[in-house]
Chain A
Amino acid sequence: MSRVYMENMKDRYREWVLFKRVLVYLKPYAQWVALAIFLLLGVSLFNLAGPYLTKVVIDDYIKVSDLEGLDVVAGLYLAVLIASFVFQFCQSYLMQYIGQKVMFDLRSKVFAHLHRMSFSYFDKNPIGKMITRVVNDVEVLNEMLTSGLILIFSDLFTLAGIFAVMLYLDWRLTLVVCTVFPLLALGTRLYRVRARDALRKNRAHVTELNSYLEENLSGIDTVQCFNREKINHENFKSINLDRLKEDLRTVRYNALYMPSIDLFSSLAVGMVFWYGGGRFVQDEIQLGVLVAFIQYLQKFFEPVRDLAEKFNIIQTAMASSERIFELLDTPEQIPDQVPPNPDVKIKGEVDFERVWFAYDDENFILKDISFSLSEGESLAIVGATGSGKSTLVNALCRFYDIQKGDIRFDGKSIKDINKYDLRRQVALVQQDVFLFSGNIADNIRLGNQQMGQEEIESISQAVSSHNFISSLPFKYEQELTEGGVGISSGQRQLISFARALASNPRILVLDEATSSVDPETESQIQSGIEELTRGRTSIIIAHRMSTLMHADKILVLKQGEILEFGPRKELLIQKGVFYKICQSQLQGLPTDHTGE
């Protein structure tokens, strides 16, 4: 088993570039961000008040035994506390608000962008991966913006503030204390490099562990069927062990780094004892200043510890943002040359002119396909599995762009029609019917909220689906659970007919279902198809003889090429392949199915 599952950290985007791109999303809320940062600055400053007031109390009041002055300081302290409370509340609410807005924007954008992708994108990308982009990655990014970024600001403000106050109180002592900084920087650097590596590996192992677990759960049948329990357990244990090793490595790095900060901070305090104490003895410094220094130094190392941890959040968020931008940078594969125009009407003439198409630019699935249909004509396509029938239909709806040739509607090239305008007038009924969660009526009307109950019923009646729907316990309000359980495949087909008719298309494209249904549903489907095709151009991928017998024109496909095409009667006279198929079919059929 291949066990290497390192997240591929292709540094396609430089971290700083990513960071800047994330910041762009903050731009619309720039003034709010500025306000939040201002509030944050205030909070950080207020937090520095304690030790300074202690200094004031010791040096200015205790020394001279000024009791009233003490009351004033206490009052002042309380005022600072209250102001800090208000600032902090406003700041945190504001920042969360901005974060949510950004998340909304970004998530909508990713969602909308997914809808601009063509089928070839969805062919290539697993659904789970795309869901992660829209849901989890956006979430992680928000986490970074609201907690990560902001806390870094607050930590930096605090650090700068403490440093400034210490310099103000006594610059000499400050400089002496500063001698521990290089040590601190070195320690942090050593830690960061290693912790980052351990964390990355750890994350990769966790991903691997979870996907292995998930795979075994969703494939439990296969695991048990092939008696894989022991082997898989061994595999799992070894992946788990890898993770444990990295886990423990992280624990060890933290166990070394965290106390080292204690050491540095007490070294600094030790210098206050020694150097500061010495200067006090020489009356160069006041006692309160020393106390304030000791207190500030204890506060100083908290943000340092914090920053080390924040760093990890940022790392994770960067990986997420990279994935999001990768999706957003995927260009739309079927760009529209023309703006949408709801008034564009297609009559229903269809021309294929020497159409070539390949999914991968190499293996052509459609080769030099030419045929034409007049308004209202029906075409039945026959061909073996893999002959290109579905591909032809997909190209007609412009789910893929063809490489060579042209498809024309009423003489207008498919590229000169906005793809949305086109699809609005072409209804596609697929073999596997996809039903959305929601009730039957919603599945028929899809987004068209204006469509009333009566209209839906009359449409359903027309395609013979009304009967079975009204036999359901909740009729049109019947909720369909995921995947539409509880409804037979034939009935699903009937619902999809109603859905197609509800969109009142000019061109109907239908891929007949092959699965067998009971005779009653079968006849309902037949009459449904007749109703659907009435008065509109229709293209049907035929799997049933009766469908062939009702079509105006027939197109026989073989390995992507047209073998025969023409009006049904002419093809029968020519006595080609189509004729042969019909003959062997009709021998066994009762006469009333033969058509004219």
Chain B
Amino acid sequence: MENLKSFWPYISKYHKELMIGITALIITDSMTLVVPWLIKEFIDVLPGKPSSGVLLEYTFLLILIVLFLVVGRYGWRMYMFGPSRKIEFDILNRLFAHLLTLDRAWYLKQKTGDIMSRATNDLRAVREFVGLGVLVLIDAVFVIITAVGMMSWINADLAFRVLLPLPIISFLFFYFVKEIGKRHKAVQEHLALITGQVQENLAGIRVLHAFVQEENEKRKFAVLNNEYIKKNLHVTRMFGVFTPTMVFVIGVAAMLSLWLGGKAVITGSMTLGSFVAFNGYLMLLSWPMMGIGYVFNLTQKGMSAMSRIREIFAAQPEIISAPEKERFVGEIGDIEFQGLQFSYPGADTLSLKGIDIKISKGQTLGVVGVIGSGKTTLTQMLLRFYDPTSGNLLIGSHPIKEISLQRLRDSIGYVSQDPFLFSTSIRDNIVLGRGTDLELTEIVRIAGLRDDIARFPKGLDTLIGERGVSLSGGQKQRVALARALITKPEVLILDDAFSNLDSDTEEEILKNVREQLSQTTTLIISHRLSAVRDADTIIVMDAGKIIEQGNHVSLTRAGGVYAGLSQNQSLAREMEIYL
């Protein structure tokens, strides 16, 4: 009920249409119920040898009734299915908007596939509940009550005996659909296993082929596949019994009606027309009887789907933006970490421990350290994807919480190692709807993309992703750089942003960037020391702590971790220099 209440506003928005739909449905059902009666009248009038005028009257009467029925059926299809689609549309729009407001802490706990399934499958279940569920319920209740009423009116005793087996249908339908659903879930879960295996196979295909594992993998796959068949047949057995049972029960009722009804006609307790009408009503009953069971299933599914969608709506971001109206007066390029500690939600270890570092506007900070030492986490703090667990992060001497998210993120250009590009054109990916693309040519040059773009079929308008060209890792990284540079950010974060480029290109791009953005505070994270060598300050991180701090000369002289790294990497550098 709680579920229904929270979705009620979406439904009541279309209450007028839905009322029209329900009225139309009742008209349809009434007309459907009139038809057997007309047939009864027709059959009873026949033995009296009516004139062809009378026969024509019956024909026209039938067509008249059916015209009402046709209009009614058109009406409820339009005004019950239509609104249910519109409700789905509204909910999905709201859901999407809400998803965009949720923060990293929430997304960390979710799987994309799960959210997708809520937005598609669960939403469909809600739609079916609203459209189909209401329809079937009203239809079934109305038809059952009137048809049973008519049958009892024709012959109460016969009706009682014939109808006895029918409630079994409702029950069986409910039970079967539920049981099938359960078994079907097992099938779905197994299919997920198969998907997983295929996915891993393809991801690791190079290793598998290098070690000639094809036959082994095929064998493993066959085992999974075989198990899948078994699970499927488990469902099938249920289906195999389901439909025939329904047909059988209805058949038994029809047989009883034919048998006992025939006797009643012979003994004269009912007319032949009534006998035919009785059979007609019985035929009308078979679907609503299943419908009752169906409504239960739809409701069950709809309710649990609603609660799953509600969970998303109930989630709230922890990162609350400062109001946008208040103008931020500080200098965003001045950044200071003060004893900052941070642990990821749900983690028991700190990912950043006592970070103290100050960077002034226009300066460059280099960050090095092994994988997992907390370098990227540092950037997440600056973008305010998370708030610090303790300590402070000051932007222009103000706590980061005092700047609106919009202003903060607009001022920071962030380039990651594995950037996410949208599947649109390269141009759209760089401009991202922000202002003009006048300076695009210049930006493309700075990012070292000019030659690449010249080679693409449609230049900047080339689509990327599955629909267009696929970019190499290095190209992606440079598009991401261009997209960050185009707004002339006050802070630029390069998070191992050129790992797929050779160091010549990297150095050239870095030089371009420095020339272009001399007033920009830059944070360079890199595994290649050549990228950070010229930084004003370099920090070495390990296990969330800053373990060394200085510049290239002082750190090399100190003979610590940085000096060791420097020696290790010199071969690579020499190779790049000499070759």
Contact = CB atoms under 8 A, between A and B. Distances in A.
A107 B103 CA distance: 40
A258 B434 CA distance: 50
Interface in B517-575: 527, 564-565, 567-572, 574-575
A447 B216 contact: yes
B438 interface: no
Contact of B204 (A216, A294, A434, A542): A434
Residue of B204, B568, B575 ringed by the most chain A CB atoms within 10 A: B575
B200 interface: yes
B371 A515 contact: yes
Contact of B55 (A277, A397, A577): A277
B232 A100 contact: yes
Contacts of B255: 74, 77-78, 81
B153 interface: no
Contacts of A532: none
B199 interface: yes
Given A96-B233, A287-B43, A287-B272, A2 B463 contact: yes
Nearest to B493: A225
A231 B70 CA distance: 44
A193 interface: no
Contact of B63 (A66, A266, A581, A584): A266
Contacts of A426: 210
Residue of A70, A114, A258, A516 ringed by the most chain B CB atoms within 10 A: A516
Interface string B261-284: 011011000001001100100010
A515 B579 CA distance: 21
A220 interface: yes
A241 B69 CA distance: 31
A70 B262 contact: yes
Contacts of B206: 119, 122, 399, 430, 434
Interface in B366-398: 370-372, 383, 385
A127 interface: yes
Given A104-B226, A397-B210, A544-B571, A85 B245 contact: yes
- Contact-size category for B: 35 or more
B432 interface: yes
Contacts of B200: 436-437, 482
Contact of B93 (A237, A545, A589): A237
- Contact-size category for A: 35 or more
Contacts of A134: 194, 198
A577 B43 contact: no
A108 B104 CA distance: 40
Residue of B78, B116, B262 ringed by the most chain A CB atoms within 10 A: B262
A226 B244 CA distance: 58
A93 interface: yes
B527 A514 contact: yes
A545 B428 contact: no
A585 B343 CA distance: 41
Contacts of A580: 574, 578
B178 to A, nearest CB: 19
A107 B419 contact: no
Contacts of A335: none
Nearest to B368: A516
Contacts of A281: 46, 49-50, 52, 55
A469 interface: no
A67 B406 contact: no
Contact of B259 (A71, A92, A130, A216): A71
A279 B222 CA distance: 66
A211 B112 CA distance: 12
Interface in A509-554: 514-519, 542-545, 548
A101 B501 CA distance: 49
A92 B246 CA distance: 14
Nearest to B565: A516
Contact of B112 (A214, A251, A489): A214
Given A229-B101, A385-B576, A446-B216, A221 B96 contact: no
Interface string A247-273: 110011011101110110011011101
A128 B37 CA distance: 58
A244 B241 contact: no
B262 A385 contact: no
A534 to B, nearest CB: 20
Residue of B56, B200, B206 ringed by the most chain A CB atoms within 10 A: B206
A457 to B, nearest CB: 20
B252 interface: yes
Interface stretch (B81-89, B325-333, B440-448): B81-89
Interface string B207-247: 11111111111100110011011001100110111011101
B466 interface: yes
A254 B77 contact: yes
A465 interface: no
Nearest to A219: B420
Residue of B212, B216, B371 ringed by the most chain A CB atoms within 10 A: B212
Contact of A81 (B50, B69, B252): B252
A385 B258 contact: no
A58 interface: yes
Interface in B49-69: 49-50, 52, 55-56, 58-60, 62-63, 65-67, 69
A493 B196 CA distance: 24
Contacts of B409: 224-227
Given A131-B195, A217-B115, A489-B370, 6 more contacts: A108-B225, A244-B85, A258-B73, A262-B70, A294-B39, A544-B571
17 contacts: A58-B275, A77-B251, A77-B258, A88-B240, A88-B243, A131-B199, A134-B194, A217-B99, A259-B70, A262-B70, A266-B62, A270-B63, A273-B62, A384-B576, A426-B210, A577-B579, A580-B578
